[in-house]
Amino acid sequence: MDRRDEAGQSREGLLRSYKRGESIPMRKSLEEAYRSDSESDLDATEFLDSEPLDTSSKPPPPAHQPATWLRTLQNICARRSKCILMIIFVLIIFWMILGGGGLFLYKQKPVDGESPPWYPTPPGGTVAQWSESYNKAAELVKKMTLAEKVNVTTGTGWQMGLAVGNTGPAIHVGFPGLALQDGPLGLRFADNATAFPAGITVGATWNKELMYLRGRAHGKEARLKGINVLLGPCVGPLGRMPAGGRNWEGFGTDPVLQGIAAAQTIKGIQEEGVMATIKHFIGNEQEHFRQSWEWGLPNAMSSNIDDRTLHEMYGWPFQDSVKAGVASVMCSYQMLNNSYSCGNSKLLNGILKDELGFQGFVQSDWLAQRSGVGSALAGLDMTMPGDGLKWASGKSLWGPEMSKAVLNGSLPIERLNDMVTRVVAAWYQLGQDDKSKFDGQGPNFSSWTNDKMGVINAGSPDDKDTKVVNKFINVQGSGEDAHSIIARQVAVEGSVLLKNKDNVLPLSKDGWPSDQGHEINMRIGIFGEDSGEGNGPNACPDRGCNQGTLGSGWGSGAVEFPYLISPAAALKEAFNKDRVYVTDYPTNSPPFKSTPVILKDQDICIVFANSDGGEGYIASEGISGDRNDLYLQHNGDNLITEVSEGCGDGRGSTIVVIHSVGPVILDKWINLPGIKAVIMANLPGQESGNAIADILLGKVNPSGKLPYTIGKSLDDYGPGAKILYHANGVIPQQTFSEGLYIDYRHFDKFGVEPTYEFGYGLSYTKFQFANLRVTPVLPKSSLPAPRPTGIAPPKFEDVIPDASEALLPKGFRKLKKFVYPYIDKLSDIKKGKYPYPEGYDIQQPPSQAGGDEGGNPDLWNVYANVSVDLTNVGPRGGKEVAQLYLSFADLQGEAKHVDFPLKVLRGFEKVYLEPNETQTVHFNLTRRDFSYWDVVQQNWVMPTEGSFTIRVGTSSRDLRLTGWY
């Protein structure tokens, strides 16, 4: 089976509709439809790496000469039939324009960038924990030619190599090309690899150990498949909008939950020697308008985020990731404050590399780079997949253009040296020079075909060299080390018990208690297409359709399922067939009217329903990535209502299980008398059925907690929670005016009563909290200690290399569409005056919030210890999550005038307790936990007057004990 058709639609902004396994093109790329090859949407720095300034101008066309498009129209309309067709076509385009936001779009001018300049890029190699790797990298880079340096930083092009992203090697110094592969929940396009539960399910476990173990298993599979860079985990989107298409790739709607989960995942991945990539930096909160031309507009949308919100909310989990030593950061598609994220110098240079002390390399999302020299100066270190403004074109904004830019002086050689050194240092830092773990041969599987034989460069019509590209190596582990064990445990602990009226759960595998021996005494009916196998888990490319049971969302973050255990299959196997009669109806339209007995005869009815979404390049059933609403899909609400009213002729008990990419509105049926239990099972991955059977039959005590709030309506989440579905400008604007108040923070601020709050989750047993103790460790002080000096970065000669280093070698045969670093002739190098971006000559002082990985080291010092005794006072063993929230309400002095949320999560710990067992749970609170970002002082400030209120409990609204620091 050839994956080219599938992969060719991935990431590049083409919409496709997937229905029942059939792939139907909706429309061609709008970029192709409305732009000529000479047009571009480069930002203002495009000219820096193309031509020097030219003050001459071309003469205007002769007066009264009709425009080319008008002459073409006149020729077409010479025949009436063609004219009619043209008019119809124009009307369709006009209607599309109106649907996309109205004619007013074309009356507005793009907003100028609102993000301040921050130059030059801080060099890497300034912290002790990376010093050895940087020293090795510097020695290697000094031996590289210009062409080899460009190779290391530029992708080879889409489908040019076996991975989804590939860089060229530096052959003469022994540095291999790197293979980069999606994604956050498994290895995309790979065979014999695990389909782990999605990030949102991991977040719902609130289990740090599982977060780490899943990351380590994921990293091991990547290493054994020959992958250098894993494109995950994901903490952007944070989940500002509950219908956001990619929220499920992250861990939840709170920055602390996201940050801890990301750090644990990164630790696991990188302990296996694979470079983790934290993404998408920053503000990629919706799919609509995320890319240029993807929605018919020449510009991507702008996420407008104020300084404090960026630091305390959307940047917080990235800060945790940098502190964890993440090797790579992926910048996002859309603009941040009207400057493209991958060319935003304040974001990449100022915040990420200076303030947060990031030592690894910044890579672009696939085609998120919008300028050449401009993006390099702004802090981008690697462009992916290498192609420039169009997919699979082979025309890179770097590659030979970067060679020219260095040789003509428009890109400082020290910037290129730092870019390359960052990449090579990350390679050393992860131990990828160890031949026993990385043989330098690249992936042992192909992203583009399932056949054993194929070509390496599937995107080039010139590559005819067929060889073994798929070795079908099984990396899923076996026996006690099988990764399915971890996947199942995550799916179990990531299932959240929301309701359990009359303790209907857990069910007994033997049915009702009976003294009548082995005979059928309970009838269970399973309903809903989400309970069954459908057409198989891999029926649609990149999981881009909702059929059968829902195991993951869709897009580049999805993977091929090696198998998917359906709930119906697992439950039918789990019950004692001699005593329990199980029937399943894997459809959302059972024949209740024609065959009422299928409901009347049931004692227990289990209904499965779902809500799907994903990345914006796929459209399925009218959903273009972002969900259209928060309701269950495929008439799931009606199915649940109908089953609950008819189950056992109104006397039976209905249990509802929901698989979803995010929160869903439950209030249409949650309070119906027949609804006895509800489980939010999120996206459980390959072990779906086994996991839900474990919960329903009580093999495992449920311990999941909601990683988001479930409201009664979308309006409950506030105006900022709504997707921008229709453009409001040439550059669509999404202003995050709610600031810190998303999800539970918004519900708290405005007194909105949720259906189920953030952090909520029931158990089959009960827990009690006692003896909250707060122990000061360090005294309060307003500002962190002064920024440490750090160590000196590597030094390079700043001499422009000889142009011959970039010339195409004699006799070298190029492959079409492959991105090479070479220039064809010396005359391609055009000398001239190349102005740097505005503000480039302004020396930026180092941030006092910086100084090490993750920022100023003092931010990570512990200032208070908190402990609490947790006791299982129920009948069963089980796990409970102790959650710590911080309130700023009792502060005095200047802090009383600062706007703070009612409470914010600052820590959590999950423990297992047998009945009557007590454990003491400990929390460490750091300076950062007690601080807010002061936009005037540009630093983290800890209030020193008054007290911080510390509350511990089982959810954001069930806080049982209070203490003060």
CATH of residue 675: 3.40.50.1700
Instruction: Tell me whether residue 456 is in a domain.
Output: no
Instruction: Tell me whether residue 235 is in a domain.
Output: yes
Domain count, the chain: 3
Q: In angstroms, what is the C-alpha Rg of the chain? A: 29
Instruction: Tell me whether residue 718 is in a domain.
Output: no
- Do 820 and 857 lie in a common domain? no
Q: For residue 741, what are the contacts with CB-CB under 8 A and spacing of at least 6? A: 718, 720, 749, 901
- Do 519 and 502 lie in a common domain? yes
Q: Select from 52, 150, 121 the least CA-distant residue to 396.
A: 150
Range of the domain at 654: 486-704
Instruction: Tell me whether residue 732 is in a domain.
Output: no
Sign of the CA dihedral 658, 662, 668, 672?
positive
Judged against a pLDDT cut of 50, whether residue 178 lies above it is answered with: yes
- Do 534 and 596 lie in a common domain? yes
CATH number at residue 935: 2.60.40.10
Assign 148 a pLDDT band (cuts: 50, 70, 90).
Answer: very high
Instruction: Tell me whether residue 577 is in a domain.
Output: yes
On whether the CB atoms of residues 757 and 747 are closer than 8 A, the answer is: yes
Angular region, 494: left φ>0, alpha ψ -120 to 50, beta rest:
alpha
**DSSP string for 585-638:** E-SSS--TTT-THHHHT-SEEEEEEEE--B-TT-BBTTB-SS-SSSSPSTTHHH
List b or e across 452-489, with b for residues whose CB sees 16 or more CB atoms inside 10 angstroms. Answer: eebbbbbbbeebeeeeebbeeeebbbeeeeebbebbbb
Q: Which residue has the tokens 């020193």?
A: 944
- Do 341 and 302 lie in a common domain? yes
- pLDDT computed for residue 84 by the predictor: 53
Instruction: Tell me whether residue 600 is in a domain.
Output: yes
Fill in the DSSP letter of residue 328: E
Fill in the DSSP letter of residue 632: P
For 678-736, write each residue's pLDDT tens digit: 999 999 999 999 999 999 999 999 999 999 999 999 999 999 999 999 999 999 999 99
Instruction: Tell me whether residue 624 is in a domain.
Output: yes
CA distance 344 to 325: 22
Judged against a pLDDT cut of 50, whether residue 44 lies above it is answered with: no
Q: Which residue has the tokens 């309060």?
A: 780
- Do 957 and 918 lie in a common domain? yes
Q: For the chain, give the mean pLDDT.
A: 90
- pLDDT computed for residue 806 by the predictor: 95
Assign 69 a pLDDT band (cuts: 50, 70, 90).
Answer: very low
- Do 781 and 795 lie in a common domain? no
- Do 287 and 354 lie in a common domain? yes
Q: Select from 746, 862, 852, 853 the least CA-distant residue to 790.
A: 852
CA distance 312 to 335: 19
Q: What integer is the mean pLDDT of 475-503?
A: 98
List b or e across 832-843, with b for residues whose CB sees 16 or more CB atoms inside 10 angstroms. Answer: eebebbeeeeee
- pLDDT computed for residue 440 by the predictor: 86
Q: For residue 173, what are the contacts with CB-CB under 8 A and spacing of at least 6? A: 140, 143, 144, 148
Structural tokens at position 302 = 């702008």
- Do 193 and 339 lie in a common domain? yes
- pLDDT computed for residue 257 by the predictor: 98
- pLDDT computed for residue 71 by the predictor: 35
Among 78-92, 604-618, 757-771, where is mean pLDDT lowest? 78-92
Q: Select from 338, 703, 330, 743 the least CA-distant residue to 494.
A: 703
For 457-467, write each residue's pLDDT tens digit: 999 999 999 99
For 431-443, write each residue's pLDDT tens digit: 999 999 999 899 9
Cα 567 to Cα 515, 522, 564: the distances in Å are 30, 19, 9
- pLDDT computed for residue 715 by the predictor: 98
- Do 157 and 203 lie in a common domain? yes
- Do 182 and 298 lie in a common domain? yes
Tell me which residues are annotated as active site.
365
Q: What integer is the mean pLDDT of 501-508?
A: 97
The secondary structure element, H or E, covering residue 140 is helix 131-141
- Do 598 and 678 lie in a common domain? yes
Assign 633 a pLDDT band (cuts: 50, 70, 90).
Answer: very high
Q: Select from 656, 665, 674, 745 the least CA-distant residue to 713.
A: 665
Strand partners for 921 = 868
Judged against a pLDDT cut of 70, whether residue 756 lies above it is answered with: yes
- Do 211 and 255 lie in a common domain? yes
Q: What integer is the mean pLDDT of 230-239?
A: 98
CA distance 39 to 25: 25
Helix axes 208-224, 255-271, angle to 10 degrees: 40
Assign 32 a pLDDT band (cuts: 50, 70, 90).
Answer: very low
Q: Is pLDDT larger for residue 10 or for residue 224? A: 224
Residue 484's SS3 state is helix
Among 2-6, 388-392, 740-744, where is mean pLDDT lowest? 2-6
CATH number at residue 262: 3.20.20.300
Among candidate residues 704, 719, 748, the one where a domain is terminated = 704
Among candidate residues 678, 704, 730, the one where a domain is terminated = 704
Assign 832 a pLDDT band (cuts: 50, 70, 90).
Answer: confident
Instruction: Tell me whether residue 261 is in a domain.
Output: yes
Strand partners for 554 = 614
CA distance 862 to 580: 55
Longest dimension (CA), the chain: 101
Task: Burial-class residue 239 by CB neighbours within 10 Å (0-12, 13-18, 19+).
Answer: buried
CA distance 71 to 780: 75
Among 288-302, 730-744, 906-920, where is mean pLDDT lowest? 288-302
For 793-818, write each residue's pLDDT tens digit: 999 999 999 999 999 999 999 999 99
Q: What's the chain's length in residues?
A: 965
Helix axes 483-493, 688-696, angle to 10 degrees: 50
Cα 486 to Cα 255, 492, 690, 881: the distances in Å are 25, 10, 12, 19
On whether the CB atoms of residues 659 and 683 are closer than 8 A, the answer is: yes
On whether the CB atoms of residues 314 and 255 are closer than 8 A, the answer is: yes
Q: What integer is the mean pLDDT of 380-404?
A: 97
Judged against a pLDDT cut of 50, whether residue 30 lies above it is answered with: no
Other C-beta atoms within 10 Å of 536: how many? 13
Among candidate residues 704, 726, 755, the one where a domain is terminated = 704
Q: Count the alpha carbons within 13 Å of 709 in the hemisphere toward its beta carbon.
A: 27
Judged against a pLDDT cut of 60, whether residue 955 lies above it is answered with: yes
- The pTM score is 0.91
